[in-house]
A and B are shown apart, each in its own frame.
Chain A
Amino acid sequence: MNWDGLELSILGPACLAGLLVLSTHVPLGQQVLARGIIFIDLAIAQVAALGVILAQYLGMDEQGYGVEIAAAIAALIGATLLTWTDRKWPDYQEPLIGTLFVLAATGSLLLLANNPHGGEHLKDLLVGQILWVSIGQLIPVAVLSVLLLTAMWFWRGRLSGLLFYGLFALAITASVQLVGVYLVFASLIVPALATVGIAKTSRRLALAYAIGACGYVSGLVLSAVLDLPSGAMIVWTLAGCGILARVLMRFGSGSRTSAVVSA
């Protein structure tokens, strides 16, 4: 037991980062699950990383907004490619996403043979260090989240094709650099998976947000108390909160049959 780390000023920025990521990823996760393309976030994140490495390979400075722009452009190109494959071979979208993922990942390795400094960035992008987040980093992400949420609300029900893949690519590029791929994957999939079968959209979203928030807060607290790495801990508490929500719904299903599909 370790009570030292249990301080709002230590866990606060990380918690805010988590809630920001959840704000866009919970609704996007519902889409991702409905389309059955759950590995798209890994693929887009890898393509973004490839963009960063390529930019550095071509001589761009590793500091500053240039890298962010390179990552976003690469992610958008990846999104355009996936929109095209989705239209052309809709039945094979998932295996195509998988192939894009390994191509981007190994493409980075091939480029890295001459650019070791890209390697550190790649690792940061994949593992992420949610505790190192500063408030200054959160401001641009907060602005982007508001824009993305507005766009999602404006085009609600009509979010498909390039629009969906483009918004998704921008959201992932920002969140992966903040918290890493593992947490991004868990934030997208776990709340969506735990709320499958709830008919009413607003109720399903509200519950998914609650599961996400519960996962981040309990994960940060547990990582402080048990002295374990925060990112990995949160992935597990997110899953725990999802299962807990599922169990509670099962018990409550007698009185609110409309809410849950009998499993």
Chain B
Amino acid sequence: MNKFAFFTLLLFTFVTPSAHALNVFACEPEWGALVHELAGDAVTVDVGTTALQDVHVIEAKPSLIAKVRRADLVICSGADLEIGWLPQLIRQAGNSKVASGPGYLMAAEQIVTLEKPSKLDRSEGDVHPQGNPHFQLDPYRVLAVAKAVDARLVELDPGKTAIYQQRLADFSTRWQAAIKVWETRAAPLKGRKVVVHHGSWIYLLQWLGMTEIGALEPKPGVPPTSAHLASLIDITKGGNTLAILRAAYQDPKPGDWLSEHTGVPAITLPFTVGGDDKAKDLFSLFDSTIDKLLAVVK
């Protein structure tokens, strides 16, 4: 390497981090919203999916590849949630910064996941060997992820350490205060039973002390059989069930069908930021979720 090239490189190494804002690519809206809380305008955030999409499967668009190509940091749920498209997307983008190392952050690796199978058995359906990846509705896990994301932002963009640290402290204070309010408000939900569309509510239910007594899709990804639906009607009717839960992106037909046969209300929860009109950020996501659950408590 000649001297000139070396010095140019050296110059860039020091100048670029402060010269341009960090580009963050978030696979899901909840992590985009979290980065916005932690960094505000100090970074640019692109979000790959919306609340109205099933994040297991997404359509390939050229803009997605372009967004990952310019990213300095990719944040996703992980635990194989995006296994169907994220590896291809990163490979196609050809951006080595986010292929592994500090530019690649899987939220599931920052927390303890539930439903981690002790043995891998294909017959159990669409299992995730690293546990259930739908943990964005547990505020404590969100806080743990926030700390990890913030540490990563500091590592990648040390020039703005003060901003990131101050915003994390601010977020933690507001978040912990909000958790107290949510837990107080959600007290009437404790001990109540629900039927779910797909096993994506376990973290929310565990946090609020609720129980799942049945699922429309017993093996996720496999359509239910008639025998299963018949037993589900009995379970739903007999269990003093509060509601049938589904996410904004899920097909309303199975839940409505069960609701008609049992008289138990089916409700659509936002599931992530943008899932309904109210859920505009992480705080209002939890507000709206708890509002909708309380609305069906008699």
- Using a CB–CB distance below 8 Å, which chain A residues touch chain B? 2, 4-7, 9-11, 13, 109, 112-117, 119-120, 123, 129-132, 134, 220, 223-224, 227-232
Contact = CB atoms under 8 A, between A and B. Distances in A.
A3 to B, nearest CB: 9
Interface string B74-111: 00000000001100110110100000000000000000
Contacts of B125: 116
Contacts of A5: 61-66
A76 B70 CA distance: 44
Main secondary structure of the interface of B (DSSP, over half): loop
Given A114-B123, A116-B125, A123-B57, 20 more contacts: A4-B62, A4-B67, A5-B65, A7-B62, A10-B65, A13-B92, A113-B225, A115-B122, A116-B220, A117-B126, A119-B222, A129-B59, A131-B92, A134-B91, A223-B62, A224-B63, A227-B63, A229-B60, A230-B60, A232-B59
A227 B122 contact: no
Interface residues on B, range: 20 to 34
Contact of A130 (B60, B220, B225): B60
A129 B88 contact: yes
Contacts of A116: 122, 125-126, 219-222
Given A115-B122, A119-B221, A120-B84, A230 B62 contact: yes
Contacts of B91: 134
Contacts of A120: 57, 84, 221
A22 B149 CA distance: 46
15 contacts: A4-B70, A5-B61, A5-B64, A10-B62, A11-B62, A123-B57, A129-B60, A130-B60, A131-B62, A131-B65, A134-B91, A223-B62, A227-B61, A227-B63, A231-B60
Nearest to A117: B122
Interface in B188-221: 219-221
A123 B84 CA distance: 11
B296 to A, nearest CB: 31
Interface of B: 57, 59-67, 69-70, 84-85, 88-89, 91-92, 94, 122-123, 125-126, 219-223, 225
A20 B219 CA distance: 39
A13 B91 CA distance: 12
Main secondary structure of the interface of A (DSSP, over half): helix
A109 to B, nearest CB: 8
A227 B48 CA distance: 12
A115 B219 CA distance: 10
B61 to A, nearest CB: 6
Contacts of A130: 60
A69 B67 CA distance: 36
Contact of A131 (B61, B94, B221): B61
Contacts of A228: 61
A132 B126 contact: no
B94 to A, nearest CB: 7
A230 B222 contact: no
Contacts of B85: 129, 132
B61 A230 contact: yes
Contacts of A7: 62, 66, 69
Nearest to A129: B60
Nearest to A123: B57
B85 to A, nearest CB: 8
